[in-house]
Homo-oligomer: A and B are copies of this chain.
Amino acid sequence: MSKKIKTGIIGLGRIGQIHLSNLLFYTQNAEVVIASDVSPATHDYARRLGVQQVTTSAEEVLTHPGVEAVIICAPTPQHVPYTIAAAREKKHIFCEKPLDVTLSTIRLAQQAVEENGVKLMLGFNRRFDPNFSRIGALVRENRIGAPQILRITSRDPAPPPLEYVKVSGGLFLDMSIHDFDMARFITGSEIKEVFVKGDALIDPRIKQYNDIDTAIIVLTFENGAIGVIDNSRKAVYGYDQRLEIFGSEGMAKAENNTPDNITLHNNKIVQTALPLHFFLERYEKAYRTCMQSFIDCIVNDTPSPVDAHDGLMATAAGLAAGISLKENRTVKMEEIIKTQ
């Protein structure tokens, strides 16, 4: 029979719980040996799902002799330290995004992973969304020809609490970072330049934290394509996640997913469903496929589908966006990458 990868999970917050239940119920060839969270209140969730060993110590997971792969869902500042520790223990690593908000720190993780010959996969789950993964495949199969224009719409249903904004790293590193990764994934090209126009159009209080809630981000790519991302922290109609890639031979376009496919006609209007509410609903399948892909790359010894370089480039784009907004100018990616 096929081998089962023994995993340990660090962090049982919202995203940790998703990964845990996916590992238990939907992932082939995986089992969960141990789970940790600093808050004992979360332990009951893991125990009820049948995890035998639950602890407050991340260290216990990182050094557990039976664990082959670690799932890091701790807060961002711990991402790189835990990644390095796990790598040294020769454990494969799945780490939530962003790997870090500083390029030099990301490079430390990258180095540790390479030196120890383990796999590192980052949680850019949207690459595994049925819509977006299929569009990526269509581009790679040359179904749209040479990419020329990329359009990403990525809008949240409601802004996060101001306390969260304070520590979020800002719109570009917290929210747009997913779109930067998607831009690279879909075009199959590195970003070359970034230009941003943005403002606090939803809630001016966000400016206290040097942040914005609405942005249009122009990207140029190494392969010549140009792209645009539009971000908003508040789409009253729900989570808006659309993407379009236009090329010399055609165009592929992904619309939102909805909870049903019903139209209701009355004497005034025709009504259809709002998009699925937020990322848990919209990316439910993406989270599952994402975790399966991690286990698969270990079992089959294939390269990680989302590696440290991917994390570095997405963060670099976020940093470039911040400078562009502040200085009202185009920022070259090499300007960021060379100086950090």
A-side interface residues toward B, CB under 8 Å?
24-26, 50, 130-131, 134-135, 138, 143-146, 148-149, 151, 153, 155, 193, 195, 197-199, 201-202, 214-216, 218, 220, 224-228, 230, 232, 234-237, 240, 246, 248-257, 259-274, 328-330
Contact = CB atoms under 8 A, between A and B. Distances in A.
Contacts of A269: 269, 271-272, 274
Contact of A216 (B144, B202, B224, B226): B226
A230 B131 CA distance: 22
B237 A265 contact: yes
Given A198-B226, A237-B250, A216 B149 contact: yes
A90 to B, nearest CB: 29
A28 B7 CA distance: 25
A295 to B, nearest CB: 16
A237 B247 CA distance: 10
Contacts of A201: 146, 148, 224-225, 248
A292 to B, nearest CB: 15
A266 B246 contact: no
A252 B271 CA distance: 9
A169 B228 CA distance: 25
A266 B253 contact: no
